[in-house]
Each structure stands twice: as C-alpha cells, then as structure tokens.
C-alpha cells in the first residue's frame, strides 16, 4: 500500500513539504523531518547550518543575507541590520531604549506606529529608503526558504516558525506577516521552549513540568512549561533581553584589551578592524573551551602580535560572572509558576551559549542538581522541534497521522452504471468487507463484477481496476439470487475480490493492486474531481436510483399482469385501464431525464396497483391452502 499522507480530518492528501524555522535574534535555521529524525538543512554550497540573522544592503539596496552580510558589520555598520527580532512587531515607543545598542538608524518621524529602519542612499542620486522589521525578517526567511528549496529541488510554500514564549500577539502576527512576505504560508507559530521540548520528545511523557533555559547570543529566556496529556502550556517566562554569549565575548575582549594596551601599547578600541579581530579571537577561544581545557590565542595587529594561553579555570570564572545574572530570572519564573526547583521534572538547554560546560553546571545547580537535556545541539534544538511540529501538521509522522490507508474508495459497478463503494477511502488496512448483491434481470446465469476505484457516482468517471464474471449461476427471477461480494485488502495493498453465489456455492475471485500505476498526483486529481462534482454526482445518483426503481416497478406490473391474465380481467374495466395507463406513462417517463416525474409516476403506479396485487396475493394464498389440504388428505 502506498504510504499516502492523509489529513484524517479533511481527507486531503498532503504532498507538500512543511519546513520548521527558528527565526533567531542572532542566528536562524531551517529544519525538516526525514523519516523519524529531524535534521537541520545546511547550505548546498557552504555546508553551513546556521544563517546569521543579518541583512546587508548594498549601494543598490540589494539585500545580502547571512554570513556574507555579517562580514559587512564592521565596514558598513549603518547598512547592516542585525538583531531585527528585537524590533519585530513593536512600536517606536517600545524600542526607544534599544536604540543605543544598534549601529543602524531607526527613523523616529516615520515611527508613530511601526518602527522603520532607515538606510541612506549608498550612491549619489539614490534616496534614503525605509524598511520595516517585518520586511527585514522576511528577507531572512526567504534565504531559509531558498536553502530548503535548493536542498529538495522543489518549491516550498509552508512552514512552522518559532517565537519566544513571551512574544505578544503583535509580535506573533508580525512574524506571520514576514512569512507571508517571504512566500510562506505560516501554518503555525509555536513557542521556542515548546519546540525544544518537542525535539527531545518530551511530549511523549504525557505529563510533567519542564524548565527551558535558553541562553543565546544576546538574549536569555527562561520558560516553565506544564505538559498535560501531551499538550504544552506556558506557566511563566522570564529572562534578560540583553544577556547572552555576546557578553562572554565582551568580558574576554575587555580583559585582553587591557593586556594588549599594557604589553603592546595598542588601544584596540581606536581601530575598528583591530576590535573586530579581537572579538573574533575571543569568540573562537570561548568555543574552543567547550571541549578543551586550554586554548592558545594569537591575534595580529599589523607588525605586533598578541599571544596568550587561556585555561578553563580562568575562563569559567569569567563565564560565571555572566551567567550569575540568569539566576534571578529563573527563580522569579519558578515563583510566578508557584513552583520550587524540586517540582521541575526536566531541564532543557537551548541556545549556543549553553554548550559551555560552566553554564551547564550552573543550570544544573539552579534546578536542584538535575542533569539537563543536552544531547541535541542547543543552537539547533528549536529548529528541530519546529520540524517535528511541521511534520505532525503535514501528516508526515508515522505514529500520528501516517496510516496505511486506501487513498480512494474501492467498489463495484451496479445497475445503471453507478458505483457502490465497498471499502471506503481512508479505511485502515488490512481490511475485509463483504456485501450482498442480487440480480436485476430475470434468469441471469452470470453476474458481471466490475471492480472500480474512485469517489464518483458513475463508473465511467472512476478508475476501472478489473472485471470478471461469476457463472454459471442457477437462473432465478430478478432479486432472488444472493451474491456475496468480498473485498479483502492486505497490508501490501493487494486487493482480492471474491464473488460467491450463496445458493449454489459457486465462487470466483480475482486479485488486483489498486495503487499499481497510480501516481499521487492522480489520486489528488481524483479526489478533487469528486469534490468539485459532489452536487452533480448526488443528482446523478438520485436519478439513477429513481430510474432503477421506476423500471423495476414497470417490469413488475407487466410481469404480474402477464402471469395472472385471468385475475387481471376480473378487475373493473376502469381499473384495468388505469393500471395500463399509469404503467405506460411510467415507461415513457423512464425514457426522459425527468427524475421528479419518474419518482411521482412510480409512487402513483404503486398506489394504482395495490388492489390488484392484493387480489393476486389472496389468490396465491388460496391456492397454496388448497394444495396443502389436498396433500394432507
Ligand atoms: P540566538 O538564539 O540568539 O539566535 P544562538 O542560540 O544561535 O543565538 O546562540 C548564539 C551564541 O552561542 C553566540 O554567542 C555564540 O558565540 C554562542 N556559541 C556558539 N557555539 C558555541 C560554543 N561551542 N561554545 C560556547 N558558545 C557558543
Ligand atoms: Mg534562539
């Protein structure tokens, strides 16, 4: 059976890929669920996983996104936009205090509602332009979308995007709008701590209280989540919007800067490129000490070189001076949730800065010595969780929605070219269904079984799978034979159809593979067709039913008259004429497409012949009694 992802609620086939995006303040990532495992999609050219959340505008205002843009941060800080997430969905009034931290300009005049980032015309004659944080974010999202499209070699239209738990409605809406601008339908916005918990599969534990400690580049967030029956609820959040790995880099830098001044008489803060070189070296040293106990630092300043060894002991002290500041927000969050550290069942580490061992130890201490979840890359874990959520939404997940189901109904042809479904679509396989049928014509010696697939009312609009004839069967009047048709679909998608004459025991069967040669696109088209033609198909079915019923009525009246000529002639001339008249009218109507007329005349014919049927019945009963009494004698 083809694994066709189907949305059980809507019945729609999901063939579109859904990606998960972590739109971060410092870094952004895009991830996708490959089977059971989410993984971050790396660049096809650079193989980098992280896209720095930085946009640089060249002189023609062409945006450059990611690591390339980051390189312009020093040379052209006024054209290089970073940390735009801090501005997203916020009014100028709200972000006034942020302005000191930024190297680019926010236009206060144009900012009575949405704040506007101002970029000067780079070339002579070019005017100043303004961009909203939503627009800048959309450029980052576009780069992530492009990365996924390069990887899959197909267009991507749908995504799940994460936001901090404390984001308000306006900030969430701005994130959605940014997605829309990037050409992404944002199916869901989920909280970053929830995504991280999903990445660790904590939702499978059903219940519990989780602390998510997220120390990124420039922000610290602590979230306390309550997991109830697999559903996450944010109990409290706290944090520091200006605390993160950047502060560790800064602390290292200022220590080294003092030493450089003393040893080499260079003030690195007077020279942008010196400053940048030292910043780079400091961050590298920090990252090296994630796994090593000692690292060598060497930075060239023209003809002079600064060399130094940094060991873990010195580094850890420095780290502690920064992470100390996360303690209070953690306790405040616990207090707001009316919990103590002992109430926390699991601690999840998020953010690149939690890779540092001293940070891990510190977090463990805060939460009563619990070992935090840290097996996944902390800078990837949010994106991974977004991918998990995306796959659930797309129905791409084995234990949630991806069932082995029949994408289209399987059935047989009935009188009048109609279709009777035997295994309805979306049935879980394996499945076995039996249904009894009879004949519509007297003295049939064979029954044609036409196996069809699809949702339409008429056989001609569905897909024909197989045909066979069950024969010989004993000739009987129409409606008397009992033909049992069994459809059995096994786990491999093999359908066996058996038809059995219940009286004679005669049996015949056939095997077909309903998905053979059936493309997903065709399944989708067939479903779409059936939805588009739903009303038309309903009308058709009603018409076919009316016609079959009317024909059966007319046939039955004529047969009864033929077999009971003498009795018929005992009726009054008016009654005889009325019966013949209504039967002829019905037969004529059956040649038309007028469903209502056929239905009315069928009802009238039934009423008009009730008396005659009574006469025939009484006579038959009388004869039976007579025969019986003769036998009894
Ligand atoms: P954000 O969520 O703010 O976008 P991230 O979670 O990507 O940011 O974290 C970025 C921070 O993580 C930076 O300060 C970076 O220096 C730091 N970082 C990355 N790798 C390491 C590492 N191996 N050791 C310590 N810090 C790291
Ligand atoms: Mg983050």
- Write the DSSP assignment of 237-252 as a string of letters: EEEETT-SHHHHHHHH
- DSSP conformational letter for 76: -
Q: Give Cα 117 to chain centroid, integer Å.
A: 34
Find the catalytic residue in 135, 177, 203, 214: 214
Whether 108 and 200 map to the same domain: the answer is yes
Mutate to test the pocket of ligand 1, among 191, 217, 381 (most ligand atoms within 8 A of CB): 217
Q: Give Cα 335 to chain centroid, integer Å.
A: 36
Annotated catalytic, 398? Answer: no
Cα of 346 vs centre of ligand 1, distance in Å, is 22
b/e map 49-63, b = 16+ CB within 10 Å = bbbbbbbbbeeeeeb
Beta carbons of 140 and 23 less than 8 angstroms apart: yes
Does residue 3 belong to any structural domain of this protein? Answer: no
Beta carbons of 187 and 393 less than 8 angstroms apart: yes
Residues of the chain with pLDDT under 70: 1-15, 110-113, 124-125, 395-405, 515, 517, 520, 624-633
**The two structure tokens encoding residue 333:** 């969050």
Can you give the CATH number for the domain in which 514 is found? Answer: 2.60.34.10
Whether 249 and 230 map to the same domain: the answer is no
Give the whole-angstrom CA distance, residue 19 versus residue 163. Answer: 15
Beta carbons of 24 and 351 less than 8 angstroms apart: no
Give the whole-angstrom CA distance, residue 215 versus residue 348. Answer: 11
Find the catalytic residue in 14, 145, 176, 192: 192
Whether 116 and 188 map to the same domain: the answer is yes
Whether 237 and 99 map to the same domain: the answer is yes
Q: How far apart are the first and last CA of the chain?
A: 66
- Residues contacting 309, CB < 8 A, separation 6+: 294, 295, 296, 297
Give the whole-angstrom CA distance, residue 257 versus residue 265. Answer: 10
Cα of 85 vs centre of ligand 1, distance in Å, is 16
Q: Which of 288, 306, 322 is the last residue of a domain?
A: 322
- Residues contacting 153, CB < 8 A, separation 6+: none
Whether 383 and 471 map to the same domain: the answer is no
Does residue 199 belong to any structural domain of this protein? Answer: yes
Whether 232 and 249 map to the same domain: the answer is no
Annotated catalytic, 313? Answer: no
Does residue 2 belong to any structural domain of this protein? Answer: no
Annotated catalytic, 85? Answer: yes
Helix intervals (H) in 381-427: 381-393
Whether 480 and 614 map to the same domain: the answer is no
Whether 267 and 305 map to the same domain: the answer is yes
Does residue 497 belong to any structural domain of this protein? Answer: yes
CA-nearest residue, atom 6 of ligand 1: 351
Whether 147 and 270 map to the same domain: the answer is no
Cα separations in angstroms, 63 against 135, 430, 509: 11, 54, 66
CA-nearest residue, atom 12 of ligand 1: 352
Cα separations in angstroms, 547 against 78, 562, 606, 608: 79, 22, 15, 19
CA-nearest residue, atom 16 of ligand 1: 245
Does residue 385 belong to any structural domain of this protein? Answer: yes
pLDDT tens readout for residues 213-241: 999 999 999 999 999 877 888 899 999 98
Measured from the Cβ of residue 607, the count of other Cβ atoms closer than 10 Å reads 10
Cα of 414 vs centre of ligand 2, distance in Å, is 61
Cα separations in angstroms, 421 against 261, 435, 456, 499: 85, 10, 10, 15
Q: Which of 360, 379, 402 is the last residue of a domain?
A: 402
- CA-wise closest residue to 482 among 549, 433, 435, 420: 435
Q: How many domains does the chain have?
A: 4
Cα separations in angstroms, 527 against 349, 455, 459, 530: 45, 7, 15, 5
315, containing H or E segment: helix 312-323
Does residue 422 belong to any structural domain of this protein? Answer: yes
Measured from the Cβ of residue 319, the count of other Cβ atoms closer than 10 Å reads 25
CA-nearest residue, atom 2 of ligand 1: 216
Beta carbons of 377 and 191 less than 8 angstroms apart: no
Beta carbons of 161 and 23 less than 8 angstroms apart: yes
pTM of the shown model: 0.64
Whether 315 and 348 map to the same domain: the answer is no
pLDDT of residue 374: 95
pLDDT of residue 629: 52
Does residue 45 belong to any structural domain of this protein? Answer: yes
| Strand duo 185-191 + 158-163: pairing | parallel
Ligand 1 is surrounded, with C-beta below 6 A, by 24-27, 216-219, 244-246, 283, 286-287, 290, 351-353, 355-356, 379
Beta carbons of 78 and 105 less than 8 angstroms apart: yes
Whether 76 and 223 map to the same domain: the answer is yes
Q: 252 - beta bridge partners?
A: none
pLDDT of residue 542: 83
Give the whole-angstrom CA distance, residue 10 versus residue 405. Answer: 14
Q: Which of 402, 436, 467 is the last residue of a domain?
A: 402
- Residues contacting 528, CB < 8 A, separation 6+: none
Whether 528 and 541 map to the same domain: the answer is no
Rg (CA), the chain: 38
- Per DSSP, the three-state class of 400 is coil
69, containing H or E segment: helix 67-70
Find the Cα–Cα–Cα–Cα dihedral 448, 451, 457, 461, rounded to 10°: -110
Domain interval for residue 484:
410-532
**The two structure tokens encoding residue 33:** 């669920």
Beta carbons of 190 and 200 less than 8 angstroms apart: no
- Per DSSP, the three-state class of 120 is coil
Beta carbons of 49 and 29 less than 8 angstroms apart: yes
Does residue 129 belong to any structural domain of this protein? Answer: yes
Give the whole-angstrom CA distance, residue 299 versus residue 289. Answer: 17
């Amino acid at each position: 059976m083809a694994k066709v992802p189907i949305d059980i609620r809507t019945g729609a086939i999901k063939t579109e890929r859904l990606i998960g995006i972590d739109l971060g303040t410092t870094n952004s990532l895009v991830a996708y669920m490959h089977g059971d495992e989410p993984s971050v999609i790396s660049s096809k050219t650079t193989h980098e996983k992280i896209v720095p959340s930085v946009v640089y505008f060249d002189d023609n205002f062409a945006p450059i996104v990611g690591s390339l843009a980051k390189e312009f941060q020093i040379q052209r800080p006024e054209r290089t936009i970073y940390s735009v997430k801090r501005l997203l969905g916020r009014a100028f009034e709200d972000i006034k205090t942020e302005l000191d931290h930024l190297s680019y300009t926010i236009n206060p005049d144009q900012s009575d509602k949405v704040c506007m980032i101002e970029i000067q015309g780079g070339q002579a004659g070019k005017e100043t332009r303004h961009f909203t944080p939503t627009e800048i974010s959309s450029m980052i999202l576009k780069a992530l979308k492009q990365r996924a499209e390069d990887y899959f070699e197909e267009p991507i239209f749908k995504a799940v995007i994460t936001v901090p738990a404390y984001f308000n409605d306006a900030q969430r809406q701005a994130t959605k709008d940014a997605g829309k601008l990037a050409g992404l339908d944002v199916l869901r916005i989920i909280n970053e701590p929830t995504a991280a918990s999903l990445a660790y599969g904590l939702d499978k534990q059903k219940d519990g209280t989780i602390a998510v400690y997220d120390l990124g580049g420039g922000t610290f967030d602590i979230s306390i989540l309550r997991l109830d029956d697999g559903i996450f609820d944010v109990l409290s959040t706290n944090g520091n919007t200006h605390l993160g790995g950047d502060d560790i880099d800064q602390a290292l830098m200022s220590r080294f800067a003092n030493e450089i001044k003393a040893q080499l008489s260079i003030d690195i803060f007077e020279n942008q490129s010196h400053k940048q070189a030292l910043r780079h070296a400091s961050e590298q040293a920090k990252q090296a000490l994630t796994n090593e106990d000692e690292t060598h630092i060497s930075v060239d300043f023209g003809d002079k070189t600064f060399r130094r060894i940094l060991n873990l002991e010195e580094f850890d002290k420095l780290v502690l001076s920064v992470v100390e500041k996360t303690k209070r927000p953690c306790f405040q969050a616990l207090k707001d949730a009316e919990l103590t550290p002992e109430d926390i069942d699991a601690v999840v580490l998020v953010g690149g800065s939690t890779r540092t061992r001293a940070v891990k130890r510190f977090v463990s201490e805060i939460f009563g010595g619990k070992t935090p979840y840290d097996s996944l890359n902390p800078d990837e874990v949010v994106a991974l969780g977004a991918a998990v959520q995306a796959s659930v939404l797309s129905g791409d997940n084995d234990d949630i929605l991806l069932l082995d189901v029949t994408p289209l109904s399987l059935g047989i042809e009935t009188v009048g070219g109609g279709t009777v479904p035997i295994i309805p679509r979306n049935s879980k396989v394996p499945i076995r269904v039996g249904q009894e049928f009879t004949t519509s014509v007297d003295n049939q010696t064979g029954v044609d079984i036409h196996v069809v697939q699809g949702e339409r009312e008429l056989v001609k609009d569905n897909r024909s799978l197989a045909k066979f004839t069950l024969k010989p069967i004993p000739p009987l009047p129409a409606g008397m034979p009992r033909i049992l048709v069994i459809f059995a679909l096994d786990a491999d998608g093999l359908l066996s159809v058996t038809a059995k004459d219940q009286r004679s025991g005669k049996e015949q069967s056939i095997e077909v593979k309903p998905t053979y040669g059936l493309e997903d696109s065709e399944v989708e088209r067939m479903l779409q067709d059936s939805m588009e033609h739903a009303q038309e198909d309903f009308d058709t079915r009603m018409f076919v039913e009316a016609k079959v019923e009317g024909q059966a009525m007319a046939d039955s009246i004529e047969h009864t008259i033929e077999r009971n000529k003498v009795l018929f002639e005992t009726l009054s001339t008016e009654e005889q004429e009325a019966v013949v008249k209504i039967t002829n009218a019905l037969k004529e109507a059956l040649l038309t497409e007028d469903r209502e007329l056929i239905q009315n005349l069928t009802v009238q014919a039934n009423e008009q012949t009730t008396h005659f049927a009574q006469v025939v019945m009484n006579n038959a009963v009388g004869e039976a009694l007579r025969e019986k009494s003769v036998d009894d004698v």
